[in-house]
Amino acid sequence: MLNPIQAIQRRTPLGWLQLSRQKGKLMVALSGIAFADVLMFMQLGFQAALFESSVRTHRILNADVVLFSPQALNIGNLSTFPRRRLLQAQDIPGVESAHGMYINNVVWKNPQTHQETAIRVLGFEPSFLALQLPEVAKGLDQVKLPDTFLFDQASRGSYKQVIADLKQGKLVKTEIERHTITLADTFTIGSSFGTDGHLVTSDQNFLRLFPRKSAQSVSLGMLKLEPGANPDVVVSHLKQHLPNDVFVMTRNQFMEFEKGYWQRNTSIGFIFSMGVTMGFIVGIVIVYQVLSTDVNAHMAEYATFKAMGYGNGYLLSVIFEEAIILAILGFIPGVAGALGLYTLASNGTKLPIFMTLGRATTVLMLTAIMCVISGAIATRKLQSADPADIF
């Protein structure tokens, strides 16, 4: 049988009653927590978009193993290596074929607005489908024509009229480095933090556009393996067989290499991580102010509970109850606000910014932790309170 104190403890939600007593203050507190959540959501969303967009091209490469220069920083800054390494790679058991790709970032003139913007040009042999996209496969015959390119319709910028014309079968002309080119059709990759979009063409058109590039020096080597071949074993043999002027990686390793560059070698990854930390700290400060004010306002009531025989444990549980309630109620508008901002950011930047269950769970956990920490700080005065001093 429960004693009277245990019965009261079980049926009286003091934490909720204290919070809901002044609804204005509760709304202000929830707004602050929602703001901190939105800040964390946006930083995590931009960070995920950074990594996801940086490997968009990697995911569609028609390759099991890639070769590239040790001087490479990322896919937009690959440097070059001798083309003969592709021929040497074909001597390794398990390698079915080897093909080269030329990659260069360039400023081009938007055919619709005539403004100059950054774009990435990919060139490869039309006899080999280097990018596993149906639109590219359909346009391989078109890029064989002189100065003809396929355009990335998911590029960042104003291209609605250009895309509409290409969809209708019209040709669109523009300029790259005072060289007139023709856009014949579209495909879809998307923008990233490194480029606003992509153009695809043949290796011959690429070399015609960039005459200083040598046909004997490629940016990326793409190796297709024989069915059943173990990529890790082939990579090991290639490293032993090829000179040290090339890196050899599986496609998945190449993706991790790219993400590692943005995380460790640029300030962007650090800035987003710092933003999450700042949101967390802001949330702690906001919740602490709310709970600390509540403790001070009800110090006499807490002292009365102590005089009645309630221990510190029960009083602390009331504060932590308030902290958890604030965390849950503040998270709801926070995630709603983040969803709206994700849509705006995705439409404005053409970056893959979207909500995931894992991210929502992470932010909910961070919200609960920051509220509990705030509660722990706010209860220091309560634990030392003496009923005799208050009365």
User: Which DSSP string do the residues of 248-297 spell out, in sequence order?
Assistant: EEEHHHHHHHHHHHHHHSSHHHHHHHHHHHHHHHHHHHHHHHHHHHHHHH
Evaluate whether residue 278 is within a structural domain. Answer: yes
Among candidates 63, 72, 87, which has minimal Cα distance to 251?
63
Q: Which of 245, 279, 314 is the last residue of a domain?
A: 245
Residues 80 and 227 grouped into a single domain:
yes
User: What is the Cα–Cα distance from 216 to 81, expressed in whole angstroms?
Assistant: 8
Q: Which of 245, 276, 310 is the last residue of a domain?
A: 245
Residues 279 and 211 grouped into a single domain:
no
Can you spell out the DSSP letters for 101-115? EEEEEEEEE-TTT--
Residues 37 and 75 grouped into a single domain:
no
- The single-letter code of the amino acid at 102 is Y
Evaluate whether residue 62 is within a structural domain. Answer: no
Can you spell out the DSSP letters for 341-363? HHHHHHHHH-------HHHHHHH
Q: What pLDDT, on a 0 to 100 scale, did the predictor assign at position 269? A: 78
Residues 141 and 200 grouped into a single domain:
yes
Residues 110 and 204 grouped into a single domain:
yes
148-152/179-187 β-pairing:
parallel
User: What is the Cα–Cα distance from 297 to 292, expressed in whole angstroms?
Assistant: 9
Over residues 231-252, the pLDDT tens digits come to 999 999 999 999 989 999 999 9
Residues 39 and 152 grouped into a single domain:
no
Residues 77 and 180 grouped into a single domain:
yes
User: What is the Cα–Cα distance from 11 to 167, expressed in whole angstroms?
Assistant: 67
95-109/198-202 β-pairing:
unpaired
Q: Which of 185, 213, 245 is the last residue of a domain?
A: 245
Q: Is the pLDDT of residue 1 over 50?
A: no
Structural domains counted in the chain: 2
Please state the rounded mean pLDDT for residues 257-275: 85
Residues 190 and 272 grouped into a single domain:
no
With beta carbons less than 8 A apart as the criterion, state whether 175 and 181 touch. Answer: yes
Q: Which residues contact 160 (CB under 8 A, 6 or more apart)?
A: 112
Evaluate whether residue 61 is within a structural domain. Answer: no
- The single-letter code of the amino acid at 307 is A
Evaluate whether residue 256 is within a structural domain. Answer: no
User: What is the Cα–Cα distance from 65 to 22, expressed in whole angstroms?
Assistant: 63
Residues 112 and 203 grouped into a single domain:
yes
Q: What pLDDT, on a 0 to 100 scale, did the predictor assign at position 265? A: 81
Evaluate whether residue 224 is within a structural domain. Answer: yes
Residues 49 and 77 grouped into a single domain:
no
From 83-97, 187-201, 299-313, 314-328, the region with the lowest mean pLDDT: 299-313
Please state the rounded mean pLDDT for residues 355-381: 86
- Torsions phi, psi of 254, nearest 5? -65, -40
Please state the rounded mean pLDDT for residues 315-327: 80
Among candidates 361, 358, 355, 352, which has minimal Cα distance to 51?
352
Over residues 146-170, the pLDDT tens digits come to 999 999 999 988 899 999 999 999 9
Residues 283 and 149 grouped into a single domain:
no
Quote the distance between the C-alpha of residue 55 and its chain's center.
10
User: What is the Cα–Cα distance from 29 to 183, expressed in whole angstroms?
Assistant: 54
Please state the rounded mean pLDDT for residues 6-32: 69
Residue 321 — very low, low, confident or very high, per pLDDT cuts 50/70/90? confident
Q: What pLDDT, on a 0 to 100 scale, did the predictor assign at position 11? A: 47
pTM: 0.79
Evaluate whether residue 158 is within a structural domain. Answer: yes
Evaluate whether residue 260 is within a structural domain. Answer: no
220-225/95-109 β-pairing:
antiparallel
Tokens of 368: 């609960």
From 17-31, 39-53, 151-165, 210-224, the region with the lowest mean pLDDT: 17-31
Evaluate whether residue 27 is within a structural domain. Answer: yes
- Write out the residue range of the structural domain in which residue 214 sits: 70-245
CA distances from 277 to 39, 49, 274, 284 (A): 10, 18, 5, 11
Residues 39 and 82 grouped into a single domain:
no
From 57-71, 96-110, 298-312, the region with the lowest mean pLDDT: 298-312
Q: What is the 3-state secondary structure (H, E, C) of 171-201?
A: CEEEEECCEEEEEEEEECCCCCCCCCCEEEE
DSSP E strands in 125-246: the ranges are 148-152, 172-176, 179-187, 198-202, 217-218, 220-225
Q: What is the mean pLDDT of the chain?
A: 86
Over residues 347-366, the pLDDT tens digits come to 888 888 889 999 999 999 98
Please state the rounded mean pLDDT for residues 288-296: 78
Q: What pLDDT, on a 0 to 100 scale, did the predictor assign at position 9? A: 47
Q: What pLDDT, on a 0 to 100 scale, did the predictor assign at position 386? A: 60
Over residues 182-197, the pLDDT tens digits come to 999 999 999 888 889 9
Q: How many CB atoms lie within 10 A of CB 358?
A: 10
